[in-house]
Amino acid sequence: LEDPAFEFTDDARQWVDRGTCLTFNLLKYIVPGKLNRGLSVIDSYKLLKEGKDLTEDEVFLASALGWCIEWLQAYFLVLDDIMDNSHTRRGQPCWFRVEKVGMIAVNDGVLLRNHIPRILKKHFRAKPYYVDLLDLFNEVEFQTASGQMIDLITTLEGEKDLSKYKLSVHRRIVQYKTAYYSFYIPVACALLMAGENLDNHVLVKNVLIEMGVYFQVQDDYLDCFGAPEVIGKIGTDIEDFKCSWLVVQALERVNEEQKKVLYENYGKVDPACVAKVKALYNDLNLQGVFEEYESNSYNKLISSIEEHPSKPVQAVLKSFLGKIYKRQK
């Protein structure tokens, strides 16, 4: 928090401390159970180094990049909760709902984001890949914000329209909103640290995007079919009229009568409506559809990975895939 670009007063520091605390909290309860985006920079870098011991400096730098990714996520989560008018984030009230915060949370979100260039400048300014790091974080921020945009405009309040929910739409939302910042950027950071040029790693990028999509499909599946005591929350995608992979698959399989049931019951809070949707999902055997999707995805991902000429890169990608394949939470 020391930065020559801005002198803090006590008041300001108090505010920031309060914010930072919350952010640490946010991170603490967002990250576990998920992929732990931050740590995966170190993990990936280790694998790229093929088991050679990392120097203290390398560990420090990889952690710094991990933190940048966490700040990026915190920034998007704070703003996302405002836009979704959410109430809680893993059991705690959303930041904008905390007393006295309100819409100031918008600026707090922006300040979280600003940690990224400050960390990069402080620790990477002299590295040959400094400019590539800046470009990378800028690109991924743009992609994530673009994903948010398509998500927000397809689920516009007051225009509940199931006919928009197609597989291609679902894929685009997921790819831009989640996959780049959750899957691509940690590995891209590790590659840059290892001296690689990202232009030579289109295959890696594509595989990671596919993994991100697969991860989100699992998320959508578990929201309905996962055990609440295992995933740690009760899914509400049906109530929330989400463009979930399940409803998209259902829409591709319904007959006229079932379609009517779906249109009449999707997006309602009434538990009877939710139950009807779930019954329909069962009638359409969406669990089976998912299992088939899961094993297909896995096989395709493995064969794409094995096309890669570098064994260490393969190891990074397989390690990622291993962490999420058949996950129950």
Q: Which residues bind a copy of itself (CB under 8 A)?
A: 3, 5-6, 9, 11-12, 15-16, 79, 82-83, 85, 100, 102-104, 106-111, 114, 117-118, 121, 130-131, 134-135, 138-139, 141-143, 145-146, 148-150, 152-154, 156-158, 172, 176
108 touches Mg ion (CB under 5 A): no
**Binding residue (CB under 5 A) for Mg ion from 42, 44, 76, 80:** 80
Tell me whether residue 20 or residue 148 sits nearer to Mg ion (CB atom): 148
Smallest gap from Cβ 219 to Mg ion, in A, equals 4
Query: Among a copy of itself, Mg ion, none, what does residue 234 contact (CB within 5–8 Å per kind)?
Result: none
**H-type helices in the chain, by residue range?**
10-30, 37-48, 56-83, 104-124, 130-154, 167-174, 185-193, 202-225, 228-231, 245-253, 256-265, 271-283, 286-306, 311-324
Name residue 190's beta-bridge partners: none
Angle between helices 185-193 and 130-154 (to 10 degrees): 170
> What is the Cα–Cα distance from 18 to 13, expressed in whole angstroms?
8
The single-letter code of the amino acid at 262 is L
Query: Among a copy of itself, Mg ion, none, what does residue 93 contact (CB within 5–8 Å per kind)?
Result: none
Structure-block tokens of residue 130: 């400094």
Smallest gap from Cβ 186 to a copy of itself, in A, equals 18
Residue 274: DSSP 8-state: H
The single-letter code of the amino acid at 125 is R
**Which residue is associated with the tokens 């402080």?**
122
Query: Among Mg ion, a copy of itself, none, what does residue 145 contact (CB within 5–8 Å per kind)?
Result: a copy of itself
Structure-block tokens of residue 277: 């949707």
Tell me whether residue 44 or residue 155 sits nearer to Mg ion (CB atom): 155
Tell me whether residue 130 or residue 325 sits nearer to a copy of itself (CB atom): 130
Structure-block tokens of residue 157: 């309040």
Write out the residues near Mg ion by the rule CB under 5 A: 80, 84, 219, 223
